[in-house]
């Protein structure tokens, strides 16, 4: 399987009103013919600018239409052939990512990559011959590390991220919507865009507070010359990332600050994945550090053709952010993917549609053949009866015509003498009724021959519904549309070849010092060597400056990491002290009174990125019941003892009554 590097282009927007009001200067310049971008350090104007080379460099005067036709067109065309594709915009907040992906309606040349991809897909679908397509769309966002369906009934519902050994990473419960035209795709995009989380910051009044992914799922059904069926599946991910932010510049507080923290964490995880993929010594790729990197796992180092659009701000006060973006983009172009056509997917819905369509057509053809045969038999029988009736009527008319003059002469005196019978008109009406009934019977037979029973109508309705879900080949005979499609593809190929030639020429110029040149004079050799020496000195100075910048950035990142570690340690100590105080208040019969046991029973869940801890339980202690002891029986007194006791009691009573002490 051949590998293919991730395509990376860079785009710089014009100065906005805020930057103009602050008096900012442009520090970004580009050479589009060679795909080179230059960034000048505003604090060291005497040093040469930093140089980066990409697959394309587009400055302020370039439109989104030009970017799409030159770079994005081949990738989207590959999706219609069965390859997976991903286009995502990367950069700081307010650098023009959403403008590049979504665009504006007016002027039309600034229409975004996403709507242009819709037009391209359905143009290819309509021009395709001997092929059918099932096109579906989904739209999700990652807000505060929670996945939401922007096209679902409840856009606030959190969805789960799952992984299948064959399907890979997918979102459980994400809605898929079948689309048949560009208009339907644009309506879905606008619906999702209205449901997406946006907010105001100092750098952008409509700042995206979430990462959004619009995915076009395609299933392609073709029949080759031998009559064999072939099925392919592809998907196009159109990703609009939220921008990295600095709280000091955006003025984010409260909920905006929380959103910015989550955005920066996910973008940092994306940068770590890019760095790990480029570093050949790294054995572990941290895809699981963020839901964004898990969803883009196949796009970075997997089976996908990927295009990264790095968006820059030209202002000097955004120099650090622009440099960080260019460095990440420069690393990303070294990522190797292994795209291949996805043939015969097991979970293809179009395969089920084609099977059901063939089955319904067979059922309908069988029922129609049987019904037509019975209809022809009924129709031929009715025609035989009709011909026999016509023969009989003809004979009767002939027989009556022979005696008509005799009958008329005999009945004429009687008719003239009798009053007119009103049933004469009724006879005509009855005749007309009979003839009308005969005609009605013929119509009924005819209608019976072309009508469909209820079960056939259901089969036909189901067949039409399935065929409406599938598109393709509507403009297969439109020569103008086909020619336009070929011209756009040819233009993209020519532009790619021009860029490759320019890069090769640049590499040859940089390596000309290796070649042994022949000079006509010493002066010519001195001039050539002096020019070459000056060029090498500039490169050496640029390399030394780059080393210093990297060392300073490393120190700053180290300080940042250390401060983060100290903050986390303080938070950990606070929680530990609170826990120590609260633990003594926990009931002894609760399972949380033994925290060490709770820690041992807790398990980390990779899917949800959280701990699964035991539920609090109250275990009441009950002592075992004591068995009842047998009660001693009272001793039975003898009659003599009872009489003695009564006698003593009587003496005691008398003594108490007559005793002088008792009277006192």
Q: Which residue positions form the known binding site for ATP?
A: 91-98
Supply the Cα-derived Rg of the chain in whole angstroms: 45
Three-state DSSP string of 299-340? CCCCCCEEEEEEEECCEHHHHHHHHHHHHHHHHHCCCEECCC
Paired strand residues for 138: 215
**270/296 Cα distance (integer angstroms):** 9
Q: Could you tell me the two tokens for 282? A: 């790294």
Known binding-site residues equal 91-98
Cβ–Cβ contacts within 10 Å for residue 135, how many? 25
Cβ–Cβ contacts within 10 Å for residue 622, how many? 6
Q: Could you tell me the two tokens for 217? A: 């799922």
**558/202 Cα distance (integer angstroms):** 28
- For 232-264, give the DSSP string: EEEEEEEEEPPPB--HHHH---THHHHHHHHHH
- Paired sense of beta strands 85-90 and 305-312, if any: parallel
**372/370 Cα distance (integer angstroms):** 6
Q: Which residue has the tokens 């992906």?
A: 101
Contact by Cβ (8 Å): 249, 203: yes
Q: Could you tell me the two tokens for 182? A: 């560009």
**377/456 Cα distance (integer angstroms):** 20
650 cis-preceded (ω within 30 degrees of 0):
no
**538/486 Cα distance (integer angstroms):** 44
Q: Which residue has the tokens 């003496």?
A: 651
**649/633 Cα distance (integer angstroms):** 25
- Enumerate residues 6+ apart whose C-beta is below 8 A from 246: 321
SS3 569: helix
Residues in the chain: 664
**438/107 Cα distance (integer angstroms):** 70
Phi, psi for 103 (deg, rounded to 5): 75, -170
Paired strand residues for 219: 134, 233
- For 338-392, give the DSSP string: ----EES-TT-HHHHHHHHHHHHHHHHHHHHHHHHHHHHHHHHHHHHHHHHHHHH
Contact by Cβ (8 Å): 92, 321: yes
Q: Which residue has the tokens 């359905």?
A: 122
Closest CA to 26 of 318, 265, 307, 296: 318
CA angle 448, 451, 454 (to 5 degrees): 115
**47/538 Cα distance (integer angstroms):** 9
SS3 623: coil
- Enumerate residues 6+ apart whose C-beta is below 8 A from 510: none
Contact by Cβ (8 Å): 335, 277: yes
Closest CA to 506 of 10, 5, 35: 35
Contact by Cβ (8 Å): 38, 330: no
Long-range contacts for 33-38 (Cβ within 8 Å, ≥24 apart)?
Answer: 33/498, 33/502, 34/499, 34/502, 34/503, 34/506, 35/9, 35/499, 35/502, 35/503, 36/506, 37/10, 37/12, 37/312, 37/326
């Amino acid at each position: 399987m051949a590998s293919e590097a991730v395509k990376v282009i860079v785009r710089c927007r014009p100065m906005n009103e805020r930057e103009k009001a602050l008096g900012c200067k442009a520090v970004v310049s580009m050479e589009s013919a060679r795909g080179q971008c230059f960034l000048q350090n505003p604090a060291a104007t005497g040093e040469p600018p930093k140089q980066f080379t990409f697959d394309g460099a587009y400055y302020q005067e370039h439109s989104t239409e030009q970017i799409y036709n030159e770079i994005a067109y081949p990738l989207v065309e590959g999706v219609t052939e069965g390859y997976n594709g991903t286009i995502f915009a990367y950069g700081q907040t307010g650098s023009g990512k959403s403008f590049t992906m979504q665009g504006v309606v007016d002027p039309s040349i600034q229409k975004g990559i996403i709507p242009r991809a819709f037009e391209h897909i359905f143009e290819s679908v309509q021009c395709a011959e001997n092929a059918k397509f099932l096109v579906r769309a989904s739209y999700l966002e990652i807000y505060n590390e929670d996945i939401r369906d922007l096209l679902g009934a409840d856009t606030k519902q959190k969805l789960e991220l799952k992984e299948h050994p064959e399907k890979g990473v997918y979102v459980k419960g994400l809605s898929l919507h079948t689309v048949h035209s560009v208009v339907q795709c644009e309506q879905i995009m606008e619906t999702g865009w209205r449901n997406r989380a946006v907010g105001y910051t100092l750098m952008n009044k409509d700042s995206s507070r979430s990462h959004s992914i619009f995915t076009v799922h395609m299933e392609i059904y073709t029949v080759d010359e031998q009559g064999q069926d072939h099925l392919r599946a592809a998907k196009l991910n159109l990703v609009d990332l939220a921008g990295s932010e600095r709280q000091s510049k955006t003025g984010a507080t409260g909920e905006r600050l929380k959103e910015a923290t989550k955005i920066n964490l996910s973008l940092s995880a994306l940068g770590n994945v890019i760095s790990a993929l480029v570093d050949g010594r790294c054995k572990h790729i941290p895809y699981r550090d963020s839901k964004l990197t898990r969803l883009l796992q196949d796009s970075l180092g997997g089976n996908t053709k990927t295009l990264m659009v790095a968006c820059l701000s030209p202002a000097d006060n955004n120099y650090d952010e622009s440099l960080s973006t260019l460095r990440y983009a420069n690393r990303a172009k070294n990522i190797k993917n292994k795209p291949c056509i996805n043939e015969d997917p097991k979970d293809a819905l179009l395969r089920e549609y084609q099977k059901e369509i063939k089955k319904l057509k067979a059922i309908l053809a069988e029922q129609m053949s049987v019904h037509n045969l019975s209809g022809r038999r009924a129709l031929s029988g009715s025609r035989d009866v009709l011909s026999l009736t016509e023969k009989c009527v003809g004979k009767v008319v002939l027989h009556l015509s022979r005696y008509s003059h005799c009958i008329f002469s005999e009945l004429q005196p009687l008719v003239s003498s009798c009053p007119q019978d009103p049933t004469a008109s009724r006879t005509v009406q009855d005749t007309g009724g009979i003839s009308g009934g005969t005609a009605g019977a013929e119509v009924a037979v005819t209608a019976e021959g072309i009508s469909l029973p209820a079960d056939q109508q259901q089969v036909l309705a189901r067949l039409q519904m399935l065929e409406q879900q599938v598109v393709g080949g509507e403009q297969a005979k439109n020569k103008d549309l086909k020619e336009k499609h070929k011209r756009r593809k040819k233009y993209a190929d020519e532009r790619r070849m021009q860029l490759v030639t320019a890069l090769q020429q640049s590499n040859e110029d940089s390596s000309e010092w290796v070649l042994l040149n022949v000079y006509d004079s010493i002066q010519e050799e001195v001039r050539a060597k002096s020019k070459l020496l000056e060029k090498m000195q500039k490169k050496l100075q640029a390399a030394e400056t780059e080393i210093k910048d990297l060392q300073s950035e490393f120190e700053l990142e180290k300080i940042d990491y250390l401060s983060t570690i100290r903050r986390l340690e303080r938070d950990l100590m606070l929680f530990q002290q609170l826990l120590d105080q609260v633990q003594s208040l926990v009931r002894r019969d609760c399972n949380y009174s033994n925290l060490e046991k709770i820690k041992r029973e807790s398990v980390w869940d990779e899917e949800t990125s959280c701990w699964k801890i035991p539920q609090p339980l109250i275990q009441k202690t009950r002592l075992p019941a004591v068995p009842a002891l047998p009660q001693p029986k009272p001793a039975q007194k003898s009659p003599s003892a009872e009489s003695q006791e009564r006698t003593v009691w009587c003496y005691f009573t008398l003594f108490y009554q007559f005793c002088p002490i008792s009277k006192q």
